[in-house]
């Protein structure tokens, strides 16, 4: 019944591209042109294999707990609408679109040469989960898992309900907030090589603390994958 209702709504109000707002086929969230645009954003830019940022934005010197990271495109105001939809609309197909782009980038990267034991994700807090009804990072991880054939498991990590939202903070504030926002769940253990999923990497603080917690729980190695990366230099790449 729910699927029929959604189909009727799609016919009456055709879905639109999350980027350019053009009408798109039912079951999609990006038009073919915008999908190709995002897919090619870093095609001519060499990214650091450690943190998935251009040389001038590399954050590896800050000491990262994860061994490598890949990403698809840069995050900026132009693309913010995509992530707003991802974080607020569980029914949107944007998570499918982003997971597909991430799976393609994963296949093109050196990470595809490694054997991963499982995929997990940066968790949201119980408070936010109750408010929203879903975890957007979990959606990305689950859909990426189906595309690349690596099992997805819930993270042995808890985000505290009183933690501040990272995107409202800057620099050292992000690192300090990440340190106090996450903890390992009690009586949990992991093993092997883990692929950690999040939507955006900015300073790397959140992925870093979650990577450290995964290692403390027994993971052998942690690698990361995100849909986008923020260019800390503030200079948009011309490609």
**pLDDT tens-digit map of 162-198:** 666 655 555 566 667 777 789 999 888 888 999 999 9
**pLDDT tens-digit map of 7-61:** 455 555 688 898 898 999 988 999 999 999 999 999 888 999 999 999 999 999 8
What is the value of pTM for the model shown? 0.88
Give domain limits for the chain.
44-230
CATH code for the structural domain at 44-230: 3.40.50
CA distances from 57 to 69, 74, 80, 93, 229 (A): 14, 12, 20, 31, 10
């Amino acid at each position: 019944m729910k699927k029929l209702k959604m189909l009727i709504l799609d016919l009456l109000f055709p879905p639109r591209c999350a980027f350019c707002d053009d009408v798109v086929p039912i079951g999609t969230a990006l038009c073919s042109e915008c999908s190709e645009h995002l897919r090619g954003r870093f095609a001519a830019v060499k990214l650091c294999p450690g943190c998935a940022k251009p040389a001038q934005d590399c954050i590896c010197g800050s000491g990262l707990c994860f061994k490598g990271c890949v990403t698809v495109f840069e995050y900026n105001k132009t693309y913010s609408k995509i992530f707003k939809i991802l974080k607020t609309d569980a029914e949107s197909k944007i998570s499918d679109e982003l997971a597909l782009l991430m799976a393609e980038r994963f296949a093109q990267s050196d990470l595809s040469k490694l054997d991963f034991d499982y995929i997990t994700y940066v968790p949201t807090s119980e408070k936010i989960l109750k408010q929203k009804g879903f975890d957007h990072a979990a959606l990305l991880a689950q859909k990426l898992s189906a595309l690349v054939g690596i099992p997805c498991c819930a993270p042995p990590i808890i985000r505290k309900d009183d933690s501040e939202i990272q995107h409202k903070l800057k620099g050292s504030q992000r690192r300090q907030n990440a340190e106090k926002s996450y903890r390992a769940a009690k009586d949990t253990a992991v093993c092997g090589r883990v692929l950690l999923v999040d939507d955006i990497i900015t300073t790397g603080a959140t992925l870093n603390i979650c990577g450290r917690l995964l290692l403390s729980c027994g993971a052998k190695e942690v690698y990361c994958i995100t849909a986008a990366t923020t260019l800390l230099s503030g200079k948009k790449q011309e490609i």
